[in-house]
Amino acid sequence: MKSYQKLTTTHPAACRLEEEGAAPMPSGHGKLAPWWVGSGLLVAAVLLSTITVWVLRQVSGGWLGPMAPPKCLLVPESHRFDCYPERRVVVTQELCESRGCCFIQSPPPAEGKQGVPWCFYPPDFPSYTLESLNQTALGMVGVLVRREKAYYPRDIQKLRLDVEFETDTRLHIKITDAANPRYEVPLDVPQVMKRAENPIYSLNFSWDPFGVLLQRKATGTVLLNTTVAPLIFADQFLQISTSLPSKFLYGLGEHRDRFLHSLDWNTLTLWARDVPPTESFNLYGAHPFYLLMEEDGNAHGVFLLNSNAMEVVLQPAPGLTWRTIGGVLDFYIFLGPDPNMVIQQYQQVIGFPAMPPIWALGFHLCRWGYGSSNETWQTVRAMRNYQIPQDAQWNDIDYMDGYRDFTLDSQKFTSLPSLVEDLHKHGQHYVMILDPGISSTSPHGSYWPFDEGLRRGLFLNTTKGQPLIGQVWPGFTAFPDFSNPDTHQWWLENLQHFYSHVPFDGLWIDMNEPSNFMDGSEHGCPPGELDSPPYTPAVLGDSLSAKTVCASAEQKVSVHYNLHNLYGLMETKATASALVKIRGKRPFIISRSTFPSQGRYSGHWLGDNRSQWKDMYYSIPGVLSFSLFGIPLVGADICGFSGSTSEELCTRWTQLGAFYPFARNHNTQKEKAQDPTAFSPAARTAMKDVLLTRYSLLPFLYTLFHRAHLQGDTVARPLFFEFPGDVATWELDRQFLWGRSLLVTPVLEPGVDSVTGYVPRGMWYDFYTVRSIAGWGWLPTDPDSGELLKMSAPLEHLNLHIREGSILPTQKPGTTTEVTRGNPLRLIVALSSDATAWGDLFWDDGESLDTFEKGNYSYVMFNVTQVGCGGEGRSGGSMATKVTIGTLSIFGVQKPPSKVLLNGQEKPFSYLDNQVWPHFRVPFAGWGSPS
């Protein structure tokens, strides 16, 4: 048996494996000291630990139990990796030691906390040995062998290790069964043809026991060290642990939590589940990806390409354990080193997000409980009457006949086709909901979706080969198997039929975890290790089938056990394909359940939140997390879905929601209306004003989405993405940026007229008043620091600040994106301290497919220097003639210019001195280079 250790590249049992040269063989296999004990300190550590335990035993009255062996006492609490993670089991010393692990009782944790594990791995717990390693064209291939069986059934004795140096900033490591194929996620990933020439990382292995040591070359920072605990690879239990270089870890969704995760014994479960967003629960989607900020401001990311039920355990070492119950260990590591680059590199693997139609960026309105199409229409008319911007009207399941997909309530929603026609005449759009559950109880021949799906064999089946029947809104239902290509064709035909009656513009796909009001099916789930595996992660309900279908359900590609977390993604792909064929335009889809690569096909909303102040706050970490996951089109239900909002809450939430990338107000039935027209004139005006502000910024927002589509940039962005050297920004999640240029500081508490926000270093201009504030920190030892500022925030005001050096393309806002797009551009220039600025604009027709790829667009870069300002652009089509500039406003001009020239001709201008940073405005039409 060998100890788990902190390896160095000079240790005899470590081998250095980089970008060139043959794989070296180990020069030694000696027994190694535990990694947390320094050389020469072993005896002292044992004595100190023994004395400490003895003292604690006396103080605690004996709750520590029998004295643990010295090797166990050597393991600090923060470095104890759990050997008995099963819940609902009281872990005794006998149970623990039956697994060959250490048992030391710890003080009971605080309520709601997990605390230090009582049963943990000793330093000499058996693991795999790296028996051979050979070079390949892209990296290397090795064989891992376990000589002692693990404690989970069907552990795999021989594993295959594949390493590919894919790019200079991306490493791919996969561990799987050496003898038998296993399920792998059917996700399109890039196939690399050439080995990286100058990787910025170095890779080492411990041979016995096997472990991975990954370092950043430039700094020597250890990014991964899997020697801290044993590798376990059984048929239905796969586990690998690593140390972390810092505590600043983000991602690992979908959960309701702060943006920065706590490493205080925190378990995050990934298993798609229909449940209103609640802390500590697994929610709608699964994203096994994390971003970590290193202590020096560099960043890296890790993605485990695995779709099985999973949990990720975080502990204060700092350390992390991946624990999944199927598939393979397929890791991609992204070296950044900038956090923006990490996310771009991640999306190079999972795919860049789709370019949304521009109307998707307008304001959307929905509720469950309009009651009729006429009532829905009345809301639309009221919005128009008050001239409040609105681009899309939605309906929830109440438009259906008996909640059955592809049907229309012929009594209450008979005028829906006329409503949709009216929306289209006013440049607006219609979106409806669809659930995957297909009603199975209609008389034969009366409901084509079920009859035809049954005839073609397109539903999830039980182990007996019959359609699995669960229960959702229409009653008993069958669930389409979207892993079957034939199901995509059936889905298309159903949508085509409904579209011929109601020409919808987008689709909202809900309940696609898939959700089930029963556990498993109408007959439960059969006995067996798919529905009752040897180990069940910490899923809500303590069962894989809790409020979803049986894990043993059979699908075309594999069993549902493997595909559950992919169900929403597969439905989304079928829906996107169908919309393209039906409408011939960019598809607009919002999906509840998501998985990596979802952004290629849809956006996401954060689910059935509540009308509470804390829910408004939690929406910001939610939006920022999905920005990391490559799904930039994301937002929460503005004003909350369930419960009854207040006027103050809804006003503040509308101000925040106006800056969600996806902005929709939606609430449940049997609650009072919460659209902007339902409130007092003062609140209604405040909501209207902030929505008009959003519409004025549509050119800027649309360009951000183009950059996301083109290269994986984030739209809503945490502050540390722009200021990674400022450690104070690493924990901020009550503010965010649009791109690099616009800082949003919302009010998130009731009864206040001010807000305290962090202003990063540099000059920032108030979006409305042009007054400037300076984020000059007062710590001479930290030149990157900004400062906290208290800002006035009466109920009608949202604090927005433009970063120095930015140029924002804006427009005079209209009540729809169509009207707004017809207005000339207004360029806002926020000068830096050295009188420079830059910005850009992407412009196309707003809805056609692949405009960038086909060259049917205009792209303009704007820049300002001390001697003048101008722009340069490129265009592949006719869009350039439609880009006109009406007004140029420059913030930060400290003295009046003598004259302004446009293409050599003098133009009138106004100069406003606000005593802080003056600015001047130039009205003109057309395109040119003013100076």
Which of 388, 364, 362, 391 is CA-nearest to residue 681? Answer: 388
Per-residue tokens: 143: 């064989």
Which of 730, 727, 701, 726 is CA-nearest to residue 716? Answer: 701
Total H helices, total E strands in the chain = 17, 49
Is 164 annotated as catalytic? Answer: no
Q: What is the DSSP string of 700-720?
A: HHHHHHHHHHHH---SEE-HH
What's 880's DSSP letter?
G
- Do 324 and 310 meet the contact criterion of CB atoms below 8 Å apart? yes
- Do 566 and 595 meet the contact criterion of CB atoms below 8 Å apart? yes
Q: Annotated catalytic residue: which of 513, 571, 766, 840?
A: 513
CA-CA distance, 172 to 290, in Å (whole number)?
15
Tell me, rounded to whole angstroms, the distance of Cα 378 from its chain centroid.
36
Q: Annotated catalytic residue: which of 208, 235, 330, 510?
A: 510
CA-CA distance, 496 to 489, in Å (whole number)?
10
Helix axes 567-583, 485-499, angle to 10 degrees: 50
Per-residue tokens: 371: 């009651």
Residue 657: C-alpha distances to residues 187, 193, 636, 660 (Å):
33, 44, 8, 5
Q: Which helix (H) or strand (E) holds 82?
A: none
Is 519 annotated as catalytic? Answer: no
CA-CA distance, 395 to 385, in Å (whole number)?
21
Per-residue tokens: 808: 């924002």
Cα dihedral angle (581, 586, 592, 593), rounded to 10 degrees?
70
Per-residue tokens: 731: 């924990």
Please name every residue paired with 14 in a beta bridge, in sequence order, or none if there are none: 206
3 state SS of 887: strand
- Do 287 and 540 meet the contact criterion of CB atoms below 8 Å apart? no
CA-CA distance, 9 to 203, in Å (whole number)?
9
3 state SS of 146: strand
Please name every residue paired with 450 in a beta bridge, in sequence order, or none if there are none: none
**What is the biggest distance separating any 2 CA atoms in the chain, rounded to whole angstroms?**
91
Q: Around Cβ 98, how many Cβ atoms within 10 Å?
A: 12
Residue type, 391: D
Which distant-in-sequence residues (6+ apart) come within 8 Å of 195 by Cβ? 19, 137, 138, 139, 164, 165
Residue written as tokens 């412009």?
A: 843
Tell me the backbone φ, ψ of residue 226, rounded to 5 degrees.
Answer: -90, 10
- Four-residue CA torsion sign, 468, 471, 476, 478: negative
Tell me, rounded to whole angstroms, the distance of Cα 638 from its chain centroid.
19
Q: What is the DSSP string of 163-212?
A: EEEEETTEEEEEEEESSS-------------S--SS-SEEEEEETTTTEE
CA-CA distance, 568 to 564, in Å (whole number)?
8
Per-residue tokens: 862: 């704007």
What's 602's DSSP letter?
-
Which of 450, 426, 452, 422 is CA-nearest to residue 436? Answer: 450
3 state SS of 654: helix
For 770-924, list the strands marked E by DSSP: 772-774, 787-792, 799-803, 806-811, 825-830, 837-843, 858-865, 868-875, 885-891, 900-902, 905-907, 910-912, 919-923
Tell me, rounded to whole angstroms, the distance of Cα 222 from its chain centroid.
25
CA-CA distance, 441 to 275, in Å (whole number)?
26
Residues with a catalytic annotation lie at 510, 513
